[in-house]
Amino acid sequence: MRLARPVYECLPLIYAAVGVCAIYVSYVDQPGARAAAALMLGLAALIAALTLYLRRRGYREMRREYSGGDLAAPSPTRESRT
């Protein structure tokens, strides 16, 4: 499944917001299994947000480094053969 670029760019922010909300719920809820589950969900969402953010940043850096369309080695030209 492919996502539109604006949606994909917003995913880290959405995951971070979900993570912060879940951690807040675990803080205000009574101690117990539900609070622990909300805390784990919040931490997982924050880790997912950070992972997506870092992968997007790495992808942008790679695209800047390789301005061409693909990463295959260039084919030899006539000048380089002589």
- Does residue 24 sit within a domain? yes
Residue 57 has what pLDDT? 85
- Does residue 78 sit within a domain? no
DSSP string, 16-81: HHHHHHHHHHHHHSPSSHHHHHHHHHHHHHHHHHHHHHHHHHHHHHHHHH--SS--SPPPPPHHHH
Q: What is the pLDDT of residues 47-82, one digit of tens each?
A: 999 999 998 888 888 877 777 655 555 566 655 555
Number of domains observed in the structure of the chain:
1
- Does residue 81 sit within a domain? no
pLDDT(6) > 90: no
Chain-wide mean pLDDT for the chain?
A: 83
What is the mean pLDDT of the segment spanning 28-48? 93
